[in-house]
Chain A
Amino acid sequence: MAAGEQTSSEYIKHHLTNLTYGRDQDGVWRLAETAQEAQEMGFYAIHLDSMGWAIGLGLIFIILFRMVAKRATTGIPGGLQNSVEMIIEFIDSNVKDTFSHTNKLIAPMALTAFMWVLLMNLMDLVPVDWVPQLATFIGSHFFGMDPHHVYFKIVPTTDPNVTMGMSLSVFFLALFFSIKNKGVGGFVGELTLHPFSSKNFLVKIILIPINLFLEGVSLLAKPISHGLRLFGNLYAGEMIFILIALLPLYIQWTLSVPWAIFHILVIVLQAFIFMVLMIVYMNMAHETGDH
């Protein structure tokens, strides 16, 4: 539990606010001091904590794997190479099972997404107060900030910007590949001539808006559900850790330990689902035949 003078709702709110650097209403770029201020900054703001942890964890992944790739031997692999190879083969078999076309981008992208999301999710297992308290200490002692207004979230995937940023990237990439593989006509046809079609030309034209509406919804629902699924699961998990942290110290472990153990499953599963959905969307973007 955090500092005694905080109420429960303040504590929760504190834990759910990002360290936001943005342009305030006076047009000045600065750190937001309250959640209210952060909200008022609108789009021209950036979550320093989410970005920092995301990039840091991404670098850990990249550097670790690059190290192995550089020293990759065809002989007997060491421990690190062995585990990296296991992950690579796991991703590779998943991609081969789901993605039935040739595209050199898909497997590395799936690997990056899986490992990155996994590492970001993993931050959820760090006790909820450790890093925020440390950040508060550093912020108030070295930067002269109000200790109550130092916000620091360490799980990037509980930030919808992060998950949506990835899912939208995948979405736009899928649009790109769709148009590249099917042509503009094919892509538009997919949106307007399904699921209802008719041999009669006039009826076909009448059906276009209906089809466009249905297909448009399903098209747009994909990236949103893709990003929000990951966000929702991790946000809920984080929320429960925060709520458990509100309990008296001596009974916290009775709940936090089982939840953490269960959460290990959620972390891996959500990373896996994110990756698989990504491959599925990419596969759909490459399907040129009738569906």
Chain B
Amino acid sequence: MNINLTLIGQAISFAIFVWFCMKFVWPPITSALEQRKKTISDGLSAAEQGQQALENAKVDVEQQLSEAKSEAKSIIAMAEKRQGDILDEAGVKASEEAAKKIKLAEQEVEQLSMRLKESLKKDLSKLVVEGAEMILKKEIDKKAHDKAIKDLINKI
């Protein structure tokens, strides 16, 4: 337990170690710590921003979704209305067409009946003439009779 040069030696080594530590150990480690702290806080704030963006996007999506829904609804409503219109229109057209067809048929029927009447008229007048011919074969001049029949036919 003698006090001797060891005291000085220790003081010198202490000074050297402290100097070395101050120069080459402390600054790099603390700066690395500082930098990491900064990186972490940056990362955290970025994460927070991301969270915020996600939240915003969610709200956006919801809004768009509801918009799309209402649009779809209106489209359906429109389609329904259009369907009604088309049906109405078709109904009208169909009835028009039917009326047209009926008219045509009626006209045809009329024509037919006219023709029929005509031919019947002809047939009948022929029959009448033939009958009369048969009866009056000998007595009546054919030419005079033909003329008379023709006049008759025209009268009918």
**B-binding residues in A (CB < 8 A):** 16, 18, 20, 22, 38-39, 41-47, 50-51, 54-55, 58, 61-62, 65-66, 68-70, 72-75, 84-85, 88-89, 92, 104-105, 107-109, 111-113, 116, 156, 159-162, 164-166, 168-169
Contact = CB atoms under 8 A, between A and B. Distances in A.
B15 A169 contact: yes
Majority secondary structure, A binding face: helix
Interface of B: prevailing SS: helix
Given A58-B13, A65-B29, 19 more contacts: A20-B2, A20-B4, A22-B4, A38-B2, A44-B4, A47-B4, A47-B6, A54-B10, A62-B25, A66-B24, A69-B25, A88-B30, A107-B26, A109-B21, A156-B10, A159-B1, A165-B7, A165-B10, A166-B10
Contact of A69 (B3, B6, B15, B29): B29
A124 to B, nearest CB: 17
Contacts of B135: none
Contacts of A65: 21, 25, 29
Contacts of B31: 72
B33 interface: yes
B108 to A, nearest CB: 100
A50 B13 CA distance: 12
B22 A104 contact: yes
Interface of B: 1-11, 13-15, 17-18, 20-22, 24-26, 28-33, 35-36, 39
Contact of A85 (B4, B25, B29): B29
A45 B5 contact: yes
B2 A39 contact: yes
A134 to B, nearest CB: 22
A50 B6 contact: yes
A161 B10 CA distance: 7
Contacts of B30: 88, 92
A74 B33 CA distance: 7
A162 B17 contact: no
Contact of B26 (A39, A54, A111, A160): A111
Contacts of B7: 161, 164-165, 168
B11 A166 contact: yes
B4 A54 contact: no
Contacts of A68: 29
A164 B33 CA distance: 34
A72 B28 contact: yes
A37 B10 CA distance: 22
A51 B6 contact: yes
Given A42-B4, A66-B24, A58 B17 contact: yes
Contacts of B24: 66, 69
